[in-house]
Amino acid sequence: MAALCLIALALISLFIGPRDIAFDSFAAALQAYDQYDAEHVTLMQIRLPRLWAALIAGGALGVAAMVMQVVTRNPFADPGVLGINAGAAFFLIVGTTLLGRADEAFVAVFAFPGAALMALIVFALGGGFLRDINPIRLVLAGVAVNALLASLLTALVLLRQDSLDVMRFWVAGSLSQATTRPLFEMSLIALAGASLAMALATRFEAFALGGDMSQGLGVRPGRVLAGALIVVTLCAGAAVSVAGPIAFLGLIVPPIVRVLSPGDLRLGLLMSAVIGALILLFADVLGRVILSPLEVRAGIMTALLGTPLFLWVARRMSPGQVS
Amino acid sequence: MIRWAILIAILVTSVCLALRYGQISVPLDVLWNGLGTNDGPGSLILGTIRGPRVAVAMGGGFVLGLSGALFQTLFRNPLASPDVLGFTSGAGLAVIFAVSFNLAIAPTIAAVAGGVFAALVVAAIAYQKGVETPAITLILVGLGIGFFATGLATFLMTVLPTSSALEAQRWLSGSLSGSTWGNAGLVCGLGSLLALFALAQSRALGVLELGNDMAKGLGLSTEASRWTISGTGVLLAAVGVSLTGPVPFVALIAGPLGAVLSGATTVAGRLLAGGMAGAIVLVLADLVARVAIPNTQLPAGVFTGLIGAPFLLWRLGVEMRKGRV
């Protein structure tokens, strides 16, 4: 079902935009690509990379969020809320500003240490090493880290005015610059992260049972957490490198997956990738048509779509009410 | 009493330092001589360059700090400050909105409207019939609304042309560079009116602190007092935001800092100390922002963010250990 929706939406995303393209020319472009035909060029050079970027970023964020929510047992765990995306983006912007924009593929490497560092910091501050991960504390730690990075970023932008345009388009996640991003390398990295998540899935599940139970199953918490950290770093870093920090996508995906396929985490991870890609693609298409010809960035669309969900979870979590 | 004297001394020293140092430092006696005259470097610094700026920092910091102390006392939770609860983001969004659509609305009015609106939304979502809303729910809902407002503000930023986007970015991060005496008069006038009103509520606030049942037993109409106090707090925060931009975390830090510095035990004392601590924090943050990097002015918000974020984390740790979060 979800896969079918994804395919349908992917096709729609190819044909909708400032220049509407008929289905025939897609077939024609596939069979005989004509580099002087404007429709063919739009399709193959702009829309297709953009679609690919949405699939990678959405899928990778879906997987990262699912792993985070399982391991921390926390419905708020999302690479955006917890500052991991912001960390990756911050390192990217610093790298781009210091080195110039000459080589985006090289600069993209910066996203990974950024994501890993923030994941570690927020996890530690959230009480992760004390074996006591409190959801609210984790969220507030994420808020604080996000605010800290935002302050540093503002300082950087005001010192180096040339970085403002870089920042404006990085900070709000967007798919419009997909053509200049190292899509192929990042899909490999995201794929590596997702495969690792699949390989570790049973251990994540055992770890999530908590304390004695997971020890009885022979889980070594340190290794599982390190594995989760690598998964999150690879997936979130790859997603930020192609699309910038996409907010709240990770909040939306896991609840849907849990409804659609409760139980086996491996199936759940697969579903997360599909649903994540689906939602990001939906956000992108919606952002393109909603205020056309103005484009609302996909990252802003996901933030606006995700907030009601965040509020709903916040209300449900409140003490005194059955959750 | 001694601790109050120290608090006042710190504030006075901060103001003197903020006037003395900047891109050029001016000895205090030159400043002193400039007082009351119309020419010379002293009067230029005092009258046009640093005077209004420091005055706005003081007034804006005071109202933000007071607002923070008010909410922290009302909800009996040191994390419940208008910036965490999303009110300042709402006020900030409204001002950016007015700027990007060229609406002919004074920023103060836009900020107040935005702050009140955000507060109403937070209250409406967090409200549960028949139960006293737990502070945690309010905080989480407020964070969500804050995220939403920030998302919209980011969107508006991407639509603006680069020049106004830079201005908007500067404003959003909390800057005092455009301050005038008119701003200072506004914040001091409105601020002191609201501050008096807030202090007048301190008795009700003290009773509310005992808990809802106790307060009702003592004959207080709790709902009405809560609304009045919250309304005052939102207005205070909005007045601050309209002049300084949504400077992060001043309101959050000020309450606890003031309480520690003053050692105040009464509610009125804590509120006043919170306001003074807010003024100190903002005046010093603006000073550091001006002198940290030569020939460049950073927004004060950069430094309140750099101080405030670790503070939030530390408070979080303390609250956790007490088992209150």
Complex ipTM, two decimals?
Answer: 0.75
**pLDDT value at residue B284:** 92
Instruction: Give me the percent of chain A exceeding a pLDDT of 90.
Output: 3
Classify B81 as helix, strand or coil: coil
More confident residue, A245 or A317: A245
Is B248's CB within 8 Å of A151's CB?
A: yes
pLDDT band at residue A321, thresholds of 50, 70 and 90?
very low
> Does B314 contact A at CB distance below 8 Å?
no
Amino acid sitting at position A136: I
The C-alpha angle A318, A212, A228, rounded to 5 degrees, equals: 70
Q: Are B179 and B52 in contact (CB under 8 A)?
A: yes
Indicate the residue of B125, B157, B309 with minimum beta-carbon distance to A168.
Answer: B157
Residue of B nearest to A296 (CA): B155
Is B141's CB within 8 Å of A315's CB?
A: yes
* Chain segment A157-194, per-residue pLDDT in tens: 777 766 666 666 666 667 776 666 777 888 888 888 88
- Compute the distance between CA of residue A252 and CA of residue A246 in angstroms, rounded to an integer: 12
- Compute the distance between CA of residue B238 and CA of residue B86 in angstroms, rounded to an integer: 11
Name the minimum distance, in Å, from the CA of B315 to any CA of chain A: 10
**pLDDT value at residue B63:** 94
Short-list A86, A89, A80, A78, CA closest to A111: A89
pLDDT band at residue A62, thresholds of 50, 70 and 90?
very high
pLDDT (tens digit, 0 to 9) for every residue of chain B, 325 residues total? Answer: 788 888 899 999 998 888 888 777 777 777 777 776 777 777 777 777 788 889 999 999 999 999 999 999 988 888 888 988 889 889 889 888 887 777 777 777 888 899 999 999 998 888 776 666 777 788 888 888 988 888 888 778 777 777 777 777 777 777 787 778 888 888 888 888 999 988 888 888 888 877 777 777 777 777 788 888 889 999 999 888 888 888 888 998 898 888 888 888 888 899 999 999 999 999 999 998 888 877 777 788 888 888 888 888 787 777 766 665 5
> Does B301 contact A at CB distance below 8 Å?
yes
- Compute the distance between CA of residue B21 and CA of residue B13 in angstroms, rounded to an integer: 12
**pLDDT value at residue A308:** 85
Flag the least confident range among A248-252, A260-264, B303-307. Answer: A260-264
Flag the least confident range among A116-130, A256-270, B311-325. Answer: B311-325
Average pLDDT over residues A113-138: 77
Amino acid sitting at position B149: A
**Crossing angle (nearest 10°) for helices B107-126 and B135-159:** 140
**pLDDT value at residue A77:** 84
Q: Are A274 and A215 in contact (CB under 8 A)?
A: no
> Does B305 contact A at CB distance below 8 Å?
yes
Flag the least confident range among A209-223, A225-239, B126-140. Answer: A209-223
Residue of B nearest to A160 (CA): B296
Q: Are B155 and A296 in contact (CB under 8 A)?
A: yes
Residue B164 — φ and ψ, nearest 5°? -75, -25
**pLDDT value at residue B16:** 85
**Among A318, A321, A322, A323, which would you mutate to test the B interface (most chain B Cβ atoms within 10 Å of its Cβ)?**
A318
**pLDDT value at residue A322:** 33
Residue of B nearest to A132 (CA): B320
- Compute the distance between CA of residue B29 and CA of residue B198 in angstroms, rounded to an integer: 38
Structure tokens at B133: 């809303």
Task: With residue B314 as reference, give the H or E element that holds it.
Answer: helix B300-321
**pLDDT value at residue A61:** 92
**pLDDT value at residue A2:** 66
The full length of chain A comes to: 323
> Does B165 contact A at CB distance below 8 Å?
yes
* Chain segment A268-301, per-residue pLDDT in tens: 898 888 889 888 888 888 888 887 677 787 888 8
What string of H, E and C letters represents the secondary structure of A182-240? CHHHHHHHHHHHHHHHHHHHHHHHHHHCCHHHHHHCCCCHHHHHHHHHHHHHHHHHHHH
φ/ψ region of A159 (left if φ > 0, alpha if ψ in -120 to 50, else beta) reads alpha
Residue of A nearest to B154 (CA): A172
Cis peptide before A293 (omega within 30 of 0): yes
pLDDT at A323 > cutoff 70: no
Q: How many angstroms separate the Cα of B198 from the Cα of each of B131, B206, B247?
A: 26, 12, 22
Helix ranges (H only) for B75-134 are: 87-100, 107-126
Name, in order, each residue with C-beta under 8 angstroms of B13's C-beta and a sequence gap of 6 or more.
Answer: none
Averaged confidence pLDDT in chain A: 78
More confident residue, A318 or B289: B289
Structure tokens at B145: 């609304």
- Note the pTM of the prediction, 2 decimals: 0.82
- Compute the distance between CA of residue B94 and CA of residue B99 in angstroms, rounded to an integer: 9
Name the minimum distance, in Å, from the CA of B63 to any CA of chain A: 21
Amino acid sitting at position B304: T
More confident residue, A138 or A99: A138
For chains A and B, CB pairs below 8 A equal 150
Instruction: Give me the percent of chain A exceeding a pLDDT of 70.
Output: 76
Q: With b meaning 16 or more CB within 10 Å and e meaning fewer, what string describes B265-279?
A: eebbbbbbbbbbbbb
